Structure 1
Amino acid sequence: MKIRVLGSGAGGGFPQWNCNCHNCSRIRRGTMRSSPRTQSSIAVSSNGVDWVLFNASPDIRSQLEAFSDVHPRSGIRDSGIRAVILIDSQIDHTTGLLMLRESTVPLQIYCSEMVRADLTSGFPVFTMLGHYCRVEHHAVPLDGGAFEIPGIDDLRFCTHALKSKAPPYSPHRHDPHEGDNIGVVIEQASTGRRVYYAPGLGEIEPHVERAMAEADCLLVDGTFWREDEMAHAGIVHKLAREMGHLPQSGSGGMIETLRAHEHARKILIHINNTNPILDEESPERRELETHGVEVAYDGMAITV
C-alpha cells in the first residue's frame, strides 16, 4: 500500500498567512529548522496508478501538481484520482473540491450523511459542483463496516464515527451528531496490512483503541503539543480537547496513547502552526523521537 502525504498542516497551513507566532515568524526569517506545510490531505493507492484522495484542502491544486503519480496519463483531461473520502466537513478539508470542478466525470465522494448535509446546506459545495462536474455521493458506515471503491483494486475501507463537533458554519454546530467526524481503517486485501487514519482525534474511544491496536501504521492527529497551546501562544482561550484534538503531551495524551502500540509505525499529521514539534531541533521533537513517533511533512511517501 502506498500513501502520499499531500499536506501535513492543520487549518491555515504553516506558516499561516496572518500569523506571527513563535514558529511562523521564525520560519519566515529562516531562523528555524523546519519546512512549510500545506493543509492536511493524503492519497492512497495499491498500484501507484489509481488513487483515493482523503480530504480536499484549499491547497489541493499545488499538492496534486507536486505529485506526478496523479498527473494526466492519457487523453486531454485525465487524473489518477478515482474517488475522494471526506473525514469531516471542515473548510480546510473540503474547499479544495471546488478546485476539482473541471473534472469531466462526476466526482465520486464518500462521506457520512452528516457531512453530505453540511455540504449541501451551510457550505453548499455539492450544490455548486452540480453546475460543473456534479457529485455522486456514497454514504459511509459509521460502525466500522467495510466498503470497496470501484477502480481501487485490493483496498477496502472501514469507517467509524469519532466524537467531534461540526464546523462553525454547520446548522448543527452546537448539536453534535454521529458522523460529524470519522476515522478510517485502510486495509490491503492481499497482504492484510492496515493503516489507521484519523487527523482529527479528540478522544480514544474503545473502537478507536481496537482500530489502532490492529493497524500496522498509525497516521493520527498531531495538531497540538499541549492542552492550552492556543492560549499559551496568545491566540484564543480554547483548550485542545475543546477543539476536538488530543494533545501530544500530558496524562492521556497522544504520546501516552501511542506508547501502547509499539508494533506500529506512528506518524503525526494535521500539525498546527503553533506546535513546537515543527521545530526539528526542539526538545518536544526529540521527545517524540525517543518514543519512535514521526512527524509528517508534505511530500512524505509511506509504504505499508
Structure 2
Amino acid sequence: MRVHVLGSAAGGGFPQWNCNCPNCDGVRRGGIRAAARTQSSIAVSGGDGQWVLFNASPDVLQQIRSFPELQPARTLRDTAIAAIVLIDAQIDHTTGLYMLREHRQPWQVWCTACVREDLSAGNPVFGVLGHYSGVAWNEVPLTAEFAIDGVSGLRFAALPLTSNAPPYSPHRDRPQPGDNIGVTLIDTRSGKRLFYAPGLGEMEPHVWEAMHQADCVLVDGTLWTDDEMIRLGASPKTSRAMGHLPQSGPGGMIEWLDRLPPATRKVLIHINNTNPILDEDSPQRAELAARGIEVSHDGMEIRL
C-alpha cells in the first residue's frame, strides 16, 4: 500500500491567505523554518497504478500537478484517480470536486448518506456537478468492510466519529452517525493497516480500537492547545468545540498516541496555520520528535 500526502494543512492552507499569525507571517518573511502546505487530502494505491483520492480539497489541481502519477497521460483525457472518498461534507474537503468537473464520466464518489444529503441540499455540489461530469454515488457502510471497483489490493473499513456537521447541513448541531468518519485502509496482500482521521474530536472506544490495530495512524493534528484560536484572537471556539482533539494537555492526542504499541507509526495531518508545530525549530516540534510523532508534509509517502 502506498499513501501519498497531497495536502497536510487544515482549511485555508499554510500560510493562510488573510492570516498574519506568527507562523503565517514568519513563513512569508522567512523568519521561521517551515514549509508551505496545501489543504488536507491523501491519495492511496494498492500498487496497480490506480489511486483513490481521499477528499477533494480546493487545492486539488495544484496537488495533481505536484504528483504526476495521478496524470499518466495514456489518452487525450486521462487520470489515474479511480474513485473519491469523502470523509465529511466540509468545504475544505469537497470544493475540489468543482475543479474536477471535466472528467469524461461520472465520478465514483464514496461517502455516507449524511454527507450525500449535505452535498445535495445544504451545499448542492452534487447537483451542480450533474451539469458536468456528474457523480455516481456509492454509500460508505459503517458496519462492514468495502472494496472499490477498479482498485486492487485494498479494502476499507469506515467508522463514525463524533463531530458536528457543516454550518449548511440540515442537521447542524444535531450530530448524526456518518457526519464525519475515520477510515482504516487495509492492504489485502500484507494485511497492513493504516487508520486515517484528519478530524477527530473525541477518542471513543471503537476509534481507539481501530487505532490500536493499525500499523500506522494518520490523525488529527489541527491545534496544539484547546484554546489556541481564542488566545490568538482568531476564533471564539476551542479546539474541541471545532471537532478537533488538541495535541497537548490532559486527554490530548499526544497522550493517546503515547499509549499505542511501540511499533505503530504515528503521523499528524490537517495542521492548522496557527499550530506551533509548523515551525520546525519550535519546542513543540521537538516534543513531538522526542515522542516519535511525525508531522506530515505535502509530498510525504507512507508505504505499508
After TM superposition, is the score higher than 0.5? yes
- Cα distance in 2 for partners of 1:83, 1:158 equals 16
Equivalences for residues 1-304 of structure 1 within 5 A: 1-47=1-47, 49-143=49-143, 145-261=144-260, 262-304=262-304
Give structure 2 stretches of 5+ with no counterpart: none
- Cα distance in 2 for partners of 1:273, 1:27 equals 10
- Cα distance in 2 for partners of 1:58, 1:22 equals 24
Shift of 1:48: 5.5
> Residues 48 and 66 (structure 1 numbering): CA distance in 2 closer, same or farther, change over 3 Å?
farther
One-letter amino acid of the counterpart of residue 163, structure 2: S
One-letter amino acid of the counterpart of residue 169, structure 2: S
**Quick one: percent identity of the two aligned structures?**
58
SS in 2 for 1:177: coil
**Contact persistence 1:83–1:110 (CA under 8 A):** yes
One-letter amino acid of the counterpart of residue 253, structure 1: G
**Contact persistence 1:187–1:195 (CA under 8 A):** yes
Query: Over residues 175-198 of structure 1, what are the superposed CA-to-partner deviations in whole Å (9 max), with x where a residue is unaligned?
Result: 111110000000011100000000
- Cα distance in 2 for partners of 1:98, 1:300 equals 25
**Which of structure 1's runs of 4+ aligned residues deviate more than 6 A?**
none
**Contact persistence 2:4–2:299 (CA under 8 A):** yes
One-letter amino acid of the counterpart of residue 83, structure 1: A
One-letter amino acid of the counterpart of residue 18, structure 1: N
One-letter amino acid of the counterpart of residue 156, structure 2: F
- Cα distance in 2 for partners of 1:149, 1:111 equals 12
Give the TM-score taking structure 2 as reference length. 0.98
In angstroms, what is the RMSD of aligned CA positions?
0.8
SS in 1 for 2:156: strand
- Cα distance in 2 for partners of 1:177, 1:207 equals 16
Shift of 1:73: 2.9
Query: Over residues 79-129 of structure 1, what are the superposed CA-to-partner deviations in whole Å (9 max), with x where a residue is unaligned?
Result: 000000000000000000011100001100000000000000111010011
Shift of 1:260: 1.1
**Contact persistence 1:2–1:48 (CA under 8 A):** no
SS in 2 for 1:42: strand
**Contact persistence 1:106–1:134 (CA under 8 A):** yes
Query: Over residues 202-254 of structure 1, what are the superposed CA-to-partner deviations in whole Å (9 max), with x where a residue is unaligned?
Result: 01101001100110010000000001000111111211000000000001100
Query: Over residues 51-73 of structure 1, what are the superposed CA-to-partner deviations in whole Å (9 max), with x where a residue is unaligned?
Result: 00000000000001110111133
**Contact persistence 2:48–2:151 (CA under 8 A):** no
Give the TM-score taking structure 1 as reference length. 0.98
